[in-house]
Structure 1
Amino acid sequence: MQLTPRLAIFTIAASLAYLWLAILGEGGFSAFFSRPALSVTAAALIVMAGAALFTGANLSSGEREDRGNRWIIPTVGLIGLLQAYLPAYSDRIGFWTFGGDALRWAGVVLFIAGGALRLGPVFILGRRFSGLVAIQPGHELVTDGIYGVIRHPSYLGLLVNSLGWSLVFRSGLGVLLTLLMIPPLLARMRAEEALLHSQFGAAYEAYRSRTSRLIPGIY
């Protein structure tokens, strides 16, 4: 299953723009790719963008949508644009940076792990995964695999991925931007859970009672 042509073009364009902003922030191609950790991160970003083309994710409002939370999409998008540029720029000028190459490589690991955790659930859900909070045709509740442990693994992956990106650039500012993502994502999770509860009733309540929202055993 693949993305629609329009969404596929957007995914590729957004990924390339994200990388271009980071290269610009770091001071150009030579400065960016002179650091092995940054080169690996760039390659991982392109691979993730390519993998995303085959997930089947969509922006369909489906059979029923909670439109009240659409503000979350541009909010997270704006934070994402700042996250693309500012950590790299702060790395270049030495503003609020910490650690060294070991931290950069730790960031690479987190970036890749977070990306895998972000995309894995999207592959599992396929067409049921929408950028909007919506019930899709034939929507079924998934309660096994990673969903048997946490209810929102893709959002956890997004946060880990964002934190990894920040650490690749040793950027305290990037870490702060990652923290700023948490409130809108929590609002999104609450909206999704309310919609799923209204759709699946007692089955979802039982599922929610035995799983964590985001961090196994903690939250």
Structure 2
Amino acid sequence: MKISARLAFFAIVSTLAYLGLAIGGLGGFAAFFSHSSLVLVALATLVMTIASLFTEVNLSSGEREDRANRWVLPAFGIIGLLSGYLPAYSDRIDFWTFGGEGVRWLGALLFILGGALRMWPVFVLGKRFSGLVAIQPGHRLVTDGIYRNLRNPSYLGMLIIAVGWALAFRSGLGLLLAALTLIPLIARIQAEEALLRAQFGAEYEAYCARSWRLIPGVY
């Protein structure tokens, strides 16, 4: 285990709580685990959490932090709690739902792909991957590999996870919550880019000129 014991405890508890909200929203263990696609989503969630225990993710403010951006953390938390329960509950009462098992399996696939894209950069960045918008000691730009053409692959992974989760419950409400995630996410990206631009200057500007911010070919 590489992350701190406190973060590890939070990761485990929040994962179990998130799955618990979904299980409760859908009506209990029997209802949830009667869908093979949701079993796969639950297993993928646990695998991602276990993988995170072997990363160096942290909450260090480093050498310099944009403290004004900390508001996005509770925003992500609130949207996360709503996303944990409401898509499953809307599935249960058949409110604003669409499709059938095929949609659930599409959601499970996107959830897994998004999870891989979310976790890959965390391992690449190591201690530079902080939950805060901060410049870490010895910070350097990574502009190759998964970062060659995309500046925020982990955030794209987060969005794909949110869409996959919503589809796994066939939930239009879940897709709306995924869209709401863009508000704090874009604010976070803008804060990070401003800090990196101030730290690395022309080097970062040149990187921005040849890469996409979040979605290749779009933004």
Which TM-score tier does this pair reach, normalised by the shorter chain?
A: over 0.9
CA deviation map 1:110-129 (0-9, x unaligned): 00000110111011001000
* Aligned: 1:65 with 2:87: no
Alignment of 1:20-59 (within 5 A): 20-59=20-59
CA deviation map 1:174-217 (0-9, x unaligned): 00000000011001000000000111111001001100001112
* Aligned: 1:206 with 2:174: no
Amino acid at match of 1:147: Y
Match of 2:112 in 1: 112
Query: Tell me, which stretches of 5 or more residues in structure 1 are unaligned?
Result: none
Deviating 4+ runs (over 6 angstroms): none
Alignment of 1:1-219 (within 5 A): 2-219=2-219
Question: How many angstroms apart in 2 are the aligned matches of 1:20 and 1:2?
Answer: 26
Secondary structure at the aligned position of 1:211 is classed as coil
Question: How many angstroms apart in 2 are the aligned matches of 1:183 and 1:43?
Answer: 29
- Overall identity of the aligned pairs, in %: 65
Query: Tell me, which stretches of 5 or more residues in structure 2 are unaligned?
Result: none
Amino acid at match of 2:102: A
Amino acid at match of 1:156: L
Amino acid at match of 1:23: I
Give the TM-score taking structure 2 as reference length: 0.99
Amino acid at match of 1:100: G
Secondary structure at the aligned position of 1:119 is classed as helix
Secondary structure at the aligned position of 1:143 is classed as coil
Question: How many angstroms apart in 2 are the aligned matches of 1:185 and 1:202?
Answer: 25
Amino acid at match of 1:71: W
Amino acid at match of 1:39: V
Secondary structure at the aligned position of 2:132 is classed as coil
Question: How many angstroms apart in 1 are the aligned matches of 2:23 and 2:216?
Answer: 35
CA deviation map 1:46-94 (0-9, x unaligned): 0110001111100000010000110001001100110000000000000
Give the TM-score taking structure 1 as reference length: 0.99
Amino acid at match of 1:95: F
